[in-house]
Amino acid sequence: MIPINAPQIGEEEIVAVVKVLKSGTLTHGLGAGPVVMKFEKAFAKFVKAKHAIAVNTGTAALHLAIVGAGIKRGDEVILPSFTFVATAEVVAMAGAKPVFVDVDPETYNISPRRIEKAVTKKTKGIMPVDLYGLPADMQPIREIADKHGLTIIEDAAQAHGASYKGKPPGAFADAACWSFYASKNMTTGEGGMVTTNNDKLAEKMRFMRSHGEKEKYKSLMLGHNYHMPEIQAAIGCVQLKKLPKFLAKRRENAERLTVKLKKAKGLLLPKEHKGYKHSWHLYTIRLKGAKGKKRDKIIEALRQKGIGTEVYYVNPIHVMPYYRKFGRYRLPETEKAAKQVLSLPAHPGVTARQIDFIGETVLRLLG
C-alpha cells in the first residue's frame, strides 16, 4: 500500500534522540529545555516570526493561542467547518461559540466575503485554515479583522513551507499555529508550535504553557501543561533542516500528478494561483458533479490497487453531533466539497514510478 502520508525518519533523528536520552535532560519545568529553545529559535527564523512557542500538540498550539488572545465564554469566533475538528474544538474549550462559514469552492479555504457577513457584536476572532497546505486569502481577512477589532489565529497546521504574497503563514495574523503530527510536512511524532510577532501575547502563552508560571511554583494565571519534551524538539531540529528537500519532493510529485491527470474529464485539480505557494501537504482532487457514493467507489477501487486514498474531511464540523448545538448552518460549498473531494499520496516517500501508477489508475477508473 502506498500510504496517503508517511513520516520521513532517518538515522539523523535517531542519533539526535539518543543524544537527548544520554544527556539526562528529558524535559524542563517551564517547558523551555535547551533543545526546545533551539528548535523554537530555528522555527521562528524559518517562518520569519519574532517568537515561537513549542508545545506538545498542534491542538495545544491552537488552544494556547485562543485563550492567550483572551477569547472567553460568550465570545464568538468565525471559522470554516471544512477542516479538522481541533480548529473548532479549542474555541469550545475556551467557552466561546464557533461560528461556521462557507468556503471558496476552488481553494476550500474560508471565504473572506462570508466572514464579513458573519461578524456580530460578539465576534472576537477569526480562525482561517490553510487547508491541504494552501494559504487562506489573508489580506482581506486582515482588513476585516482590523475594521472590527478582531484577533486572527491562523491554523497553519498543514502549511509548513507555504507562502502568501511572498510571506509565510502568520504574517497577516496575530498568531499562527503549527502541527508536527506524524503525517505533517515535518514531524516530531506529536508536537506543535505557536508563532507570533506580538511580545505580550508570546510572554502570556509561555506562562500559560506551563501552568501559568513565570517561575517555578509561582502561577500568575490559569495555565496548562503543554510542554514539548526534549526528544520531540530534537527530532524537530533535524526535520526542519530536511524540510526544504521534503517540500521540493512534494512539489515535484504534485506537479507530475497534475500532468498525468489534467487530461481527465470531470476532474478538478488543485490550483496554485498567483501570489500563493502551496506546501502540498495533501494533493486533493475533486470529482465534479459526483455524489458521495460514486466518489466512495473510486476510493475503494484505488485502495484495492494499493493506493492509500483518504477524504479530508468527509464530515464537516457543523454536521457533527456535538457541534450542532452551536446552531444550524447551511454551507452548500462545504457540504458539496465533502462529497466530492479525495486526496492522493504525494509525500516525499512516493517515487516517480508510483506517482505515474497513481495517475494512470485514476484515469482508468474514471474511464
pLDDT band at 265; cut points 50, 70, 90: confident
Last residue of a domain, one of 238, 253, 283: 238
Whole-number pLDDT of residue 292? 67
Candidates 184, 249, 260, 336; catalytic one: 184
Helix (H) or strand (E) holding 201: helix 199-209
115 closest CA partner among 70, 73, 159, 148: 148
Are 228 and 252 within one domain? no
- What CATH code is carried by the domain that includes residue 86? 3.40.640.10
Q: What angle do CA 303, 308, 309 make, to 5 degrees?
A: 85
Instruction: Please state, in angstroms and rounded to a whole number, the distance separating the CA atoms of residues 69 and 92.
Output: 14
Residues 39 and 81 in one domain: yes
Q: Are residues 276 and 298 in the same domain?
A: yes
Tell me if residue 184 is catalytic.
Answer: yes
What integer is the mean pLDDT of 280-288? 96
Q: Is residue 4 domain-resident?
A: no
Q: Are residues 229 and 311 in the same domain?
A: no
Question: For the domain that residue 304 is a member of, what is the CATH number?
Answer: 3.90.1150.10
* Domain total of the chain: 2
From the centroid of its chain, how far is CA 95? 22
Band the pLDDT of 318: cuts 50, 70, 90: very high
Q: For the chain, give the mean pLDDT.
A: 97
With 80 as the cut, is the pLDDT of residue 290 above it? no
Nearest to 82 by CA among 296, 288, 334: 334
For residue 366, the Cα-to-chain-centroid distance in whole angstroms is 30
Q: Are residues 173 and 312 in the same domain?
A: no
CA atoms within 13 A on the CB side of 58: 27
- What confidence score (pLDDT) does residue 286 get? 96
**Is pLDDT of 291 > 80?**
no
Q: Using CA atoms, how far apart are residues 71 and 96, in angstroms rounded to an integer?
A: 7
Q: Could you tell me the pTM of the whole model?
A: 0.97
pLDDT, tens digit (0-9, with 9 covering 90-100), for 4-51: 999 999 999 999 999 999 999 999 989 899 999 999 999 999 999 999
| Boundary of a domain, candidates 186, 207, 238 | 238
User: Could you tell me which residues come within 8 angstroms of residue 219 by beta carbon, excluding any fewer than 6 positions away?
Assistant: 211, 212, 213
- Cβ contacts of 330 within 8 Å, gap of 6 or more: none
Largest CA distance in the chain: 66
Residues ≥6 apart with Cβ < 8 Å to 7: 182, 183, 187
The whole-angstrom separation of Cα 266 and Cα 287 is 6
Q: How does pLDDT run across 228-243, given as a tens digit for each residue?
A: 999 999 999 999 999 9
Give residue-wise pLDDT tens across range 112-145. 999 999 999 999 999 999 999 999 999 999 999 9
Radius of gyration of the chain (CA): 20
| Residue range 144-197, pLDDT digits in tens | 999 999 999 999 999 999 999 999 999 999 999 999 999 999 999 999 999 999
- Indicate whether 309 and 208 sit together in one domain: no
Domain interval for residue 310 = 244-366
| Cα separation values, 272 from 88, 107, 286, Å | 26, 9, 15
Q: Are 283 and 139 a contacting pair, CB within 8 Å?
A: no
pLDDT value, residue 139 = 98
Q: Is the dihedral of CA 98, 101, 106, 109 positive or negative?
A: negative
Give the C-alpha separation, 32 to 53, whole Å.
9
DSSP-derived 3-state class of residue 278: coil
